[in-house]
Amino acid sequence: MRRLSITLTFVLIAVLLSATPSRAETANRDYGIIKNQDSPLAKLRSVDLKDVRWTEGFWAERFVQTRDVTLPRLWELASDPEKGHAIQNLRIAAGLEKGQFKGTGWQDAWVYKWLESACYIYSVTGDRQLDKQMDEIIEVIAKAQQPDGYIATQITIRGLQRFENPGHHELYTMGHLMTAACIHHRVTGKTTLLNVACKAADYVYETFRGRDPKLGDFPRNPSIIMGGVELYRTTGQKRYLDMANFFIDWRGSRYGKGRRNSWGMITSGSDLNQNWRPLRKETEVVGHAVFFTYLFAGAADAYMETGDETLLNALERLWSDLVNKKMYITGGVSPIHKAHPVRSLQPGHLSAITGDSIHEGVGGPHELPNDSAYNETCGQIGNLMWNWRMLAITGQARFADIMERTLYNSILSGIEVDGDDWSYTNPLRWHGPEHILRSNDSHKRFAPGTRHICCPTNLMRTVASWHNYLYTVNNKGLWIHHYAGNVFDGKLADGRKLKLTQKTNYPWDGKVLITLDAVESGDPFSILLRIPCWAKSSNLKINHKPTNIFRYKPASYTALEQKWATGDVIELNLPMSVRMIMANPLVEQTRNQVAVMRGPVVYCLESIDVPQGVRFEDICLPANAKWNVQHKPNLLGGITVLKTKALVIDKTIEKDIGGYYQVNDVALRHIDITMIPYYAWNNRREPKMTVWLPVKW
Ligand SMILES: [Zn+2]
């Protein structure tokens, strides 16, 4: 484990706040991660990236870590000629140095996602050195672009033919370029990267708009749909929205016919990339988790602009299928490493249809294995992005609930608590040294290099931009989706200024104090607070007086409408009792087991937190377990642990045959165990781990 000293102090955060660019410098800055202020079908509008500043607590600490550890570390690795070679690829394509291409077909996206992350950090810090560093690499990117707008070093350096193999990911890397360019323009006002992205998008638009059947299998990973819509929002150029729409329409438009490319791979009519059936007709989620979440997020973006209800109806159907039948308690969305796809041709009847194989994706309904759970971190990030867009469209809390569950569990589990090593897969059970490794599984988190490169920068841009996911506005008022220590200093939809402070130790504590620091006078407006799905008994006070408790329904927003004044205080108390959760009994792998949650955090048990000599697999929880909740500021970056008396099954066994044993002399005895947040697993040696534990009812 690489140990870097991180000083997470209020002093640092104060420095961070004082480095904030002035309003004059931010004249060109506007809008959030998605610029949906003018989107006709967005019910909720993003606030500006500059409007929210972290102050203290869980996310302030992670932001500082991302700025001070993760961002420089991923630049260092991208620049390393042996380990990363991502910068070198661009420099070689730009003619600035000689050499061969190294890495994956998506190596360029490392740099684009790094740039996007740097932009989010710059939007808060105004760090001129970082701005200069961005300018320098953007200059290289511009030189690496071909005269006709095409840019993909994995092809140009190797002299390969363009769009020969969807596995080369040319449209995937260009999609990330477009997103990064929009954010760069938004936070710096510069057009240097935006010009490159527009030129690339113009090229893609011209190349694909004729729908040449030979290009029907592109893109495989459809980041370009989100990138195209965002480019439309940023520039107002309709052809970029058209480009996004024809990629949505095209997918699955020649469904039902598996087609082999020149390499013999079935690439069309394939469930892997949702190509078997058009999105609008699809009834269930299939295939690669990053492909489907990016497709659905892009389609939600397109809906916000076009109002095409057939798209929204499909997205609602697919959301319901995923969340009810194919998602882990941690929010993980790719249970399957490799398999043949199965579909439910009729209720209760699964069938493999296309005969092609899928990987890193979903399987059939309730097919949720724990030890072989794949859950590539990027799939969960795609799911978060999709749910953010569904939230903007509907204003419904269930989407924010999924974002929260995913973020605190199967996204944060993808990074070491020190911020400088990553995991690609996020299983829910680990058998220690005997664990059977699937591709990209690892006993230890690792640094990315010429492989495994997608998740670290994707995770970094998510953490670096999380401040923009906390609030939205509309004509009702200010919506608060997520709780964390921060200051919001922005505007309501009617242009009135509003400043407020959230003070909380969430997710460890359920108390959230919201102080209105400055309210511009005018009509009453609402502050809408999300009551999470798990918060069954919340209470709320306004200016220290309790309010009607019957209003606080879980999985909904509570609208507090009144004429607000400077100095008003809202106190929300979310219940933080420890909860035992069971799964749908159709999930074979969790039958008679429970998972433990507190607030939004899923807990796990690691073998180093049980008494020596106890067989890890023999531990179970009594249904009436009493929990001792303790905050440990110096453990694993600061976590709240859960201690309890568990049960261990003492028994003798006799060999029956093979791996089967006869069980005799069973007795139960109590032992002390400590459970930690799932996201922090695998940071201390290489223990066994489980999220689900057998329960004695
Ligand atoms: Zn990834």
- Predicted local confidence at residue 448, as pLDDT: 85
Which of 91, 123, 125 lies closest to 107, judged by CA?
Answer: 91
pLDDT at 23 over 60: no
How many angstroms is it from 459 CA to the middle of ligand 1? 9
Q: Which run of H or E residues covers position 137?
A: helix 128-144
586 pLDDT above the threshold of 90:
yes
pLDDT band of residue 600 (cuts 50, 70, 90) is very high
Question: Could you give the count of Cα atoms lying within 13 Å of 622 in the half-sphere of its Cβ?
Answer: 15
| pLDDT number for residue 217 | 82
Cα 672 to ligand 1 centroid, rounded to whole Å: 37
- Where would I find the H helices in 23-144? 58-65, 71-79, 86-93, 107-125, 128-144
Q: Which tokens sit at 442? A: 């690892």
The one-letter amino acid at 66: T
Q: Which residue has the tokens 């408790």?
A: 549
Query: What is the share, in percent, of the chain residues with pLDDT greater than 90?
Result: 82
> What pLDDT score was predicted for residue 552?
79
CA 460–ligand 1 middle distance (angstroms)? 11
Q: Is residue 21 over pLDDT 90?
A: no
Per residue in 470-508, pLDDT (tens digit) is: 999 999 999 999 999 999 999 999 999 999 999 999 999
Token pair 């495994």 is at which residue?
452
Q: Which residues pair with 472 in a beta bridge?
A: 46, 479
> What is the model's pLDDT at position 272?
86
Query: What's the pLDDT at 25?
Result: 38
Question: If you measure from the C-alpha of residue 84 to the centroid of ligand 1, how many angstroms do you get, rounded to a whole number?
Answer: 15
Structure tokens at 432: 């220690």
Listed in sequence order, the residues at least 6 apart from 2 whose beta carbon sits closer than 8 Å to its beta carbon are 418, 420, 421, 447
Going from the Cα of 383 to the center of ligand 1, the distance in angstroms, rounded, reads: 12
Mean pLDDT across the stretch 614-637?
A: 97
From 253, 239, 390, select the one nearest 317 (Cα to Cα): 390
Could you tell me the distance, in angstroms and rounded to a whole number, from the CA of residue 227 to the centre of ligand 1? Answer: 18
481 by Cβ neighbours in 10 Å (0-12 / 13-18 / 19+) ranks as buried
Residue range 166-187: mean pLDDT, rounded: 96
User: What pLDDT does residue 575 have?
Assistant: 96
CA of 376 to the centre of ligand 1 (A): 6
* 42-101 per-position pLDDT tens digit: 999 999 999 999 999 999 999 999 999 999 999 999 999 999 999 999 999 999 999 999
* Average pLDDT over all residues of the chain: 91
Dist CA 634 CA 2 (whole Å): 17
pLDDT band at 322 (very low <50, low <70, confident <90, very high): very high
For the chain, give the percent of residues with pLDDT over 70. 92
Higher pLDDT, 548 or 146: 146
pLDDT, tens digit, for every residue of 410-420?
999 999 999 99
* Per-residue pLDDT at 549 exceeds 80: no
Rounded to whole angstroms, the Cα distance separating 278 from 383 reads: 20
Q: How far is the CA of 377 from the centre of ligand 1 (A)?
A: 5
pLDDT at residue 5 greater than cutoff 50: no
Q: How far is the CA of 454 from the centre of ligand 1 (A)?
A: 4
pLDDT, tens digit (0-9, with 9 covering 90-100), for 517-528 = 999 989 999 999
**pLDDT for res 260:** 52
Distance (angstroms) between ligand 1 centre and the Cα of 404 equals 19
Mean predicted confidence (pLDDT) in 99-128? 96
First to last CA, the chain: 40
d(CA 645, CA 144) in angstroms, rounded, equals: 61
Question: What is the distance in A from the centroid of ligand 1 to the CA of 658?
Answer: 38
pLDDT tens digit string along 553-571? Answer: 999 999 999 999 999 999 9
pLDDT, one tens digit per residue, over 213-268 is: 788 889 999 999 999 999 999 999 999 999 999 999 988 876 445 555 445 555 54
